[in-house]
Amino acid sequence: MQALLQSLPSSLHLTLLKTSKTYNETQQFHAFSLKTNLINHPGISSRLLSLYVDPDINNLHYARSIFDRIQNPTLVLYNLLLKCYVFNQRSHEALTLFRDLLDGFLLPDNFTLPCVIKGCARLGGVEEGKQIHGLVLKLGFGLDKFVLSSLVSMYAKCGETDSGRRVFDAMDDRDLVSWNCLIDGYVKKGEVEVAMKLFDEMPERDLFSWTCLVDGFSKCGRVDVAREIFDSMQNRNLVSWNAMINGYMKSGDFGSAQELFNDMPIRNLITWNSMISGYELNGRFREALQLFETMLRDDVLPNVATLVSTLSAVSGLASLNKGTCIHSYMFKNGFAVDGVLGTLLIQMYSKCGSIEGALTVFRAISKKKIGHWTAMVVGYGMHGMAEQALDLFNKMCSTGLKPLGITFIGVLNACSHAGLVDDGRQYFDMMINDYDIEPTVEHYGCLVDILCRTGYLEEAKIIIENMPMRPNTVIWMSLLSGARNHGNKDIGEYAAHHMIEVAPETIGCYVVLSNIYAAAGQWDKVSQVREMMKKRGIRKDPGCSSIEHRGVLHEFVVGDKSHAQANELYSKLNEMHKKLKAAGHVPDTTQVLLCIEDEKEKEAELENHSERFAIAFGLINVKAGSPIRILKNLRVCNDCHTVTKLLSGIYNREIIVRDNSRFHRFKDGFCSCKDFW
């Protein structure tokens, strides 16, 4: 080496050798070594390797290329490269390198072992970790604090807290990392009481120790305990604040979550996402959207997770105006829609009544995945466009994509909403026989719904009785609703009995059973059902229809007189009544499910249904040529369905109504559901 150095410009070479620290300087040193053939000298190659694996430079590619040129790498060099692999989240390659180390008859030391054990932990490779644990004992490192601490961490992260505890208990010198790793392992397994006991035994604690417990108790729903720990913390970090907010949101305590959110000294994107997703998952869609708008005003940039929750909230509200604004924001800010966001946009437009918008998004996605196809199939089915849904499904299959179970749910729902009973049976069999998909309770629910809607109640009853799993509330409600629609009181009572047995708190069950008795004129049994509801504290949800206009949501209930335009609305309702009468409409008073003798009173009851007010508002305020979009919380009754068809023709307006199960697109006196819903 000395002879070589003497033949070179010593000042330049020594400067490069001793002082290279930055990436550019290291590359100069590397290039110089290659040109002068000094790269093959052990001292030079070792220095280069150590520079490239340094976290400030961290060039694993060059580090490995230099390592591979060294004929007999030392344990130190193996250790340097192992650490770099683990640092770069390439633990599998670290374990492969470790195997090479052993094959080269080198013995790992107390630097090597913690590194490869950490790699096992990151991979979830508990079996590999156990093998290395055995090697630890054979090599005499069973008392090394750092090796044992890494084993505790590995077992805890892999969910084997019992093994981790045995290692922990055998340690004479336990560091804070070991305590925290074991506590974290217990928390992740849901064993928060054990974690708390260990926490109480700790000789010292840090912020991680406290935060771990707050997070654990919050996630398991014990927010009262989590709050006590949170309040006891002298210093709180963002993780602890976010954990408490998540806990409150999960338990439905929105007030406490919002209070904490307002009190936070500093927030990050996770904080905003926790609040928005919490509101959305709990059905508080307006609050979710309001918070999203506040977030943008505060110049906080959303990420994909934010937009996932926000688009879902828009879908829940069926607010097309807000949905298009968010879509525009995504486009302007370069969010790609070829993944989950594309699927959610298709769903959003479909649920907001714009199947055209959904189709535009679908067509714009160049590399369509199964989720995009499924969302579009479901959207078509939801809008009563069964033919388009099935055509799209068949086109998807022809591209070579294999449908999933959820895809068939979309197909079966499309058949259900269009009354395609034979097609429904065929696709159900295709799912099992052609694609080897085992039907879930949801698939059986779709098939039962198809049969019940088309009047095959006995066949539906047989399928329910022979299902390989217990029928859920959706299935019993399908049978009950089918019995009401087809006037089968016996099957209705049968379904209601089972429904009450499975979910006695379900309001719809009592309402539909009451409707069956009312339609049959059995008012004594109607009274019995209502008395049962009263005793159980169950109240029927009042009918409510809403319409969005210029960014404001207007809500209407039966006989509404509270709206600012009440006088105009009643004037328009009177006009609508006259035009309907002139068109030959005869009110279907069988839809009045109250014990009223006078036909005029029954007609007045129908005219006061909430969607009539929403339609009147739309006719007054929504400009001609634009669809009137209405969201209704209950199923559209037969008379309102007939009335809306007539009004769409009388006023030459497209009226889109989303009830609690599907969309109805009324235009030119017809409905997209073809009078089947």
CA dihedral (184, 186, 191, 194) positive or negative: negative
Overall average pLDDT of the 218-235 stretch: 92
pLDDT tens-digit map of 632-650: 988 888 888 999 999 999 9
pLDDT of residue 20 exceeding 80, the answer is: no
**Residue 137 Cα distances to 2, 117, 121, 150, 374, angstroms:** 44, 14, 18, 14, 54
Q: What are phi and psi of 113, to 5 degrees?
A: -65, -50
Least confident range from 40-54, 236-250, 428-442, 509-523: namely 509-523
pLDDT of residue 470 exceeding 90, the answer is: yes
pLDDT tens-digit map of 243-278: 999 999 999 999 999 999 999 999 999 999 999 999
pLDDT of residue 232 exceeding 60, the answer is: yes
Query: pTM for the full model?
Result: 0.77
pLDDT of residue 597 exceeding 90, the answer is: no
Cα–Cα dist 643/548, whole Å:
21
- Mean pLDDT of all residues belonging to the chain: 90
Is 121 exposed, middle or buried (CB count within 10 Å of its CB: 0-12, 13-18, 19+)?
Answer: buried
User: Count of CB atoms within 10 A of residue 554's CB?
Assistant: 19
Q: Label residue 15 by pLDDT band (50, 70, 90).
A: low
pLDDT tens-digit map of 603-618: 666 778 889 999 999 9
Q: Label residue 602 by pLDDT band (50, 70, 90).
A: low
Cα–Cα dist 548/628, whole Å:
9
pLDDT of residue 598 exceeding 60, the answer is: no
Overall average pLDDT of the 205-231 stretch: 93
Among candidate residues 293, 236, 243, the one with its CA nearest the CA of residue 265:
236
What pLDDT is recorded for position 114?
96
Cα–Cα dist 245/261, whole Å:
7
Cα–Cα dist 299/519, whole Å:
57
578 against 600, higher pLDDT: 578
pLDDT tens-digit map of 145-202: 999 999 999 999 999 999 999 999 999 889 999 999 999 999 999 999 999 999 999 9
pLDDT of residue 139 exceeding 90, the answer is: yes
Q: Do residues 347 and 315 make contact, with C-beta atoms less than 8 angstroms apart?
A: yes
Q: Do residues 607 and 573 make contact, with C-beta atoms less than 8 angstroms apart?
A: yes
**Residue 332 Cα distances to 267, 326, 338, 455, 573, angstroms:** 25, 10, 16, 50, 43
What pLDDT is recorded for position 11?
46
Which residue matches tokens 């060039």?
59
Among candidate residues 365, 367, 378, the one with its CA nearest the CA of residue 404:
378
Overall average pLDDT of the 433-455 stretch: 94
pLDDT tens-digit map of 472-525: 999 999 999 899 888 899 999 999 999 988 888 888 788 788 888 887 788 888
Cα–Cα dist 611/626, whole Å:
18
Give the DSSP H or E segment for 554: strand 552-557
Structural tokens at position 457: 């109640």
406 Rama sector, left if φ>0, alpha if ψ -120 to 50, beta otherwise: alpha
Label the pairing between strands 670-671 and 663-667: antiparallel
Q: Do residues 576 and 615 make contact, with C-beta atoms less than 8 angstroms apart?
A: yes
Output the CA angle 275-277-283, nearest 5 degrees.
105
Is 217 exposed, middle or buried (CB count within 10 Å of its CB: 0-12, 13-18, 19+)?
Answer: buried
pLDDT tens-digit map of 338-349: 899 999 999 999
Contacts of 514 (CB under 8 A, 6+ apart): 526, 529, 530, 593
What pLDDT is recorded for position 8?
45
Q: Label residue 539 by pLDDT band (50, 70, 90).
A: confident
Cα–Cα dist 310/264, whole Å:
22
Angle at which helix 238-251 crosses helix 269-281, to 10 degrees, equals 0
Overall average pLDDT of the 135-149 stretch: 94
User: Count of CB atoms within 10 A of residue 637's CB?
Assistant: 20
Least confident range from 35-39, 370-374, 652-656: namely 35-39
What pLDDT is recorded for position 13?
55
pLDDT tens-digit map of 541-572: 778 999 999 888 899 988 878 899 999 999 99
| DSSP summary character for residue 403 | P
Contacts of 399 (CB under 8 A, 6+ apart): none
Which residue matches tokens 């269009």?
418
Q: What are phi and psi of 201, to 5 degrees?
A: -90, -10
Q: Label residue 10 by pLDDT band (50, 70, 90).
A: very low
Label the pairing between strands 552-557 and 544-549: antiparallel
What's the per-residue H, E or C state across 338-367? CCHHHHHHHHHHHHCCCHHHHHHHHHHCCC
Which residue matches tokens 């770099």?
84
Q: pLDDT > 90: what percent of the chain?
A: 70
Task: Give the neighbor-by-neighbor strand order of the sheet with 544-549.
Answer: 552-557, 544-549, 628-632, 655-658, 663-667, 670-671
SS3 category, 585: coil
Is 122 exposed, middle or buried (CB count within 10 Å of its CB: 0-12, 13-18, 19+)?
Answer: middle
Overall average pLDDT of the 621-642 stretch: 89
Kindly give the residue spans of alpha helices, DSSP state H, lying in 252-303. 254-263, 269-281, 285-297
Structural tokens at position 613: 């007010």
Cα–Cα dist 634/605, whole Å:
16
Per the DSSP assignment, residues forming a β-bridge with 556 are: 545
Cα–Cα dist 152/165, whole Å:
7
| DSSP summary character for residue 193 | H
Which residue matches tokens 């059905």?
283
The gap from C-alpha 543 to its chain's centroid, in whole angstroms, comes to 29
